[in-house]
Amino acid sequence: KAGVTQTPRYLIKTRGQQVTLSCSPISGHRSVSWYQQTPGQGLQFLFEYFSETQRNKGNFPGRFSGRQFSNSRSEMNVSTLELGDSALYLCASTTGQVLSGANVLTFGAGSRLTVL
Amino acid sequence: GEDVEQSLFLSVREGDSSVINCTYTDSSSTYLYWYKQEPGAGLQLLTYIFSNMDMKQDQRLTVLLNKKDKHLSLRIADTQTGDSAIYFCAEKDYGQNFVFGPGTRLSVLP
């Protein structure tokens, strides 16, 4: 079974630009979560989508947004990029069924964004 | 709010045992997890434990859970250089909310 696929793996942008990252979850998984990982802040939760609806949201500004499509693939967008947005963006999928056991998060390899 | 804490660094000699510790605050945690992250990669699940268990063993990995003290540990027996990575502790509540610790960077010295 294919894992979680994130594209692109690496990208470089300049301040003020916007970026879209893509995540294809494991087949059958309906929940996709996004995390930002930086050396200083660690792993921070951005948001979670389940069945095309945002179900949970972290504490990030409105420049960070996401969506999920009917095939469970998800995209996240960051507008008006700042230097501090340079990070590894990780996507993870689960079945999304609450109260259904361990419901392990399976992560993709990440998209490394550098903002110059 | 919920919080998960870990020490940030650990160094061990090859062949020794490593013990990585984690504390959490959410008493409603249902499952606790250990993930491993190698350089340039995403997080890989190592193991998890249900909150009503106190120990789980999986080959070289032993997880101990002290629910009263909200303390979780991961022991790696016969640590190898390939075990050098960042290890994240995480907890999940009754919903779909996962909280991760800051990660412990394990360095294995030859």
Q: What is the residue whose two structure tokens read 């301040």? A: A15
What 8-state DSSP symbol labels residue B101? -
pLDDT of residue A102: 72
**Most B-contacting residue of A47, A57, A90, A105 (CB-CB within 10 A), to test interface:** A105
CA atoms within 13 A on the CB side of A18: 12
Out of B42, B96, B97, closest to residue A108 by CB: B42
Give dist(CA B2, CA B98) in Å, integer.
10
**Chain A environment of B102 (Cβ under 8 Å):** 42-43
**pLDDT of A59-96, one tens digit each?**
999 999 999 999 999 999 999 999 999 999 999 999 87
**Chain A environment of B31 (Cβ under 8 Å):** 101-103
Cα of B83 vs its chain's centroid, Å: 13
Task: Give every residue of chain B whose pLDDT is below 70, as ranges.
Answer: 1, 95
Q: Is the pLDDT of residue A99 over 80?
A: no
Whether A29 contacts A50, CB under 8 Å:
no
Residue A37, both tokens: 């990982």
Grade residue A98 by pLDDT with cuts at 50, 70 and 90: low
In percent, the amount of chain A with pLDDT more than 90 equals 84
**pLDDT of A35-45, one tens digit each?**
999 988 889 99
Out of A48, A55, A90, closest to residue B43 by CB: A90
Give dist(CA A46, CA A59) in Å, integer.
7
